[in-house]
Structure 1
C-alpha cells in the first residue's frame, strides 16, 4: 500500500534526446543550486562538507590549490566507476563546469563573517539545499557527477539504499580529510549525517521516468529498486 511513496525508477542514464527541454534545465538548475549550497556552508564557517575537508587536508600536504585538488580527485573517482559499469555523460561534464562557476558566484554574493544567527541559517539552509540539489540533478538522469556516480553505481551494485551508501561515503571522506588536517566542525557532522536521508526522501519527486518505464510500471508493482 505504501510502496508508491518511495518507489523510484532506476537512476541509469537516459539519452539527452528524450525530453531534453525538461531534463537539461533540471540538470543545470540542480548543479547551480549545488554550487550555491557549498558556498553557503563555506560562509557559515561552522564546518565544511566532508569532501571539502578532504581537499583542505590534501592542500596541506601538496602544492596544489583547493580547486586543482578537487579536479584531480574527480578524475580519480571516475576511475572507480570502471568496476561499477559507469561511464561519463553530459551530467558528468556539466558537473565540473557549472559547480566551479556557481560556487564562485555564491561566494562573491554571500557576505563574509556574518553574525552567528546568520551563520546557523546558512549552514542549515546549505545542507537542505545540497540534498535537494543532488535529487534534482541526479534525477534528471543525464549522468551524475563523479562523486554521485560513485554513489548511485555502488547503490545499484550492492543493492543498498542511496541513503546508506551516501552516508557511508561522506563519513569515510570526512575521516580521511580530518586525519590529513582538514577542518571539521558541527556543520561537517550535520552534513555527513543529513544529506543522505534528504536526498533519499526527495529523489522520488524529481527522478525522470522514461516513457517505456511508465508503461511497464503497473505490470511490476512489487519490484524494489536500489533506492528503497
Structure 2
C-alpha cells in the first residue's frame, strides 16, 4: 500500500502540474520562472521554446545525475511524457469554455493554478520517486548541500530564472512575480501539512 500510494502521489502531482500550466497559459498574466528562463535563452539564439526546453532540461538532467541521481525516477518520466499533454488538454478545454475571459476570471485562473502547482510539487517531492530536473536543483541545494532551507533555495532559483527572462526580453506578469516569490514557501507548507502526513498514514495505518 505504501509503494502504491507513492506512485499515485507522483502521478497525481505531475498531472495536476500539467493542468495548472494550461491554466496559467490561459490566464496570460505571466508564466512560471522556468518557462521564463527557457524562453529567454531561446530568444538569445532566435530559436523556439520547445527546442531549448529539451536542451536545457537535458543539461539539467545530466547535472542532477552527477550530483544526486536519487532525484531521477519514475516521476521524472511522468513529467517528461505527461506534463505537456495535460497542459495542452487543459488549455484547449479552457479555450472552448472561456473563449474571451475578462481580467477577473484570468486572475482567478492564475491564483488557482499557482496554489495547485504548489500542491502538485509537494505531492511528487514527497513521493520521492524522482522530480523534474529543474525542481531537483533547489532540492539538492537544500537537502544535500544544506545551503539554505528549501523554500529559500527555490526562491533563489526561481528569481534567477525570472532575471534571465527579463534580461532577454521575456514579457513578465504578476503571475511570474508571485510564482518566483511564493511557490517555495507554499510548496513547503503543503509538503509538511498535507503530503507527508498523507504518505505516513499509509506506512503506519491507524
Tell me which interval the TM-score lies in, with the shorter structure as reference length.
0.7 to 0.9
| Secondary structure of the corresponding residue to residue 69 of structure 2 | coil
Larger Rg: 1
* More moved, 115-124 vs 143-152: 143-152
CA offsets per residue over residues 166-223 of structure 1, 9 Å max, x none? 11110001101111111111111011111111101011221345999x7xxxxxxxxx
For structure 2, which runs of at least 5 residues remain unmatched after alignment? none
The equivalent of 1:114 in structure 2 is: 101
**Post-superposition offset of 1:122:** 0.8
**Post-superposition offset of 1:100:** 1.4
Give the 3 Å change call, closer, same or farther, for CA 45–113 of structure 1 in structure 2: farther
| Secondary structure of the corresponding residue to residue 142 of structure 1 | coil
Q: Which structure dedicates a bigger proportion of its chain to helix?
A: 2
Correspondence 1:200 to 2:188: yes
* Contact 1:37/1:130 (<8 A) preserved: yes
The equivalent of 1:92 in structure 2 is: 76
Correspondence 1:24 to 2:13: no
Correspondence 1:145 to 2:132: yes
Task: Let me know the Cα RMSD of the aligned residues.
Answer: 2.1
After TM superposition, the score normalised by the length of structure 2 is 0.86
After TM superposition, the score normalised by the length of structure 1 is 0.79
| Secondary structure of the corresponding residue to residue 81 of structure 1 | helix
Correspondence 1:132 to 2:127: no
The equivalent of 2:163 in structure 1 is: 175
Give the 3 Å change call, closer, same or farther, for CA 104–211 of structure 1 in structure 2: closer
**Post-superposition offset of 1:43:** 1.1
**Post-superposition offset of 1:19:** 2.9
Aligned residue pairs total 196
**Post-superposition offset of 1:61:** 3.1
For structure 1, which runs of at least 5 residues remain unmatched after alignment? 1-17, 215-228
Q: How far apart, in 1, do the equivalents of 2:52 and 2:81 lie?
A: 15
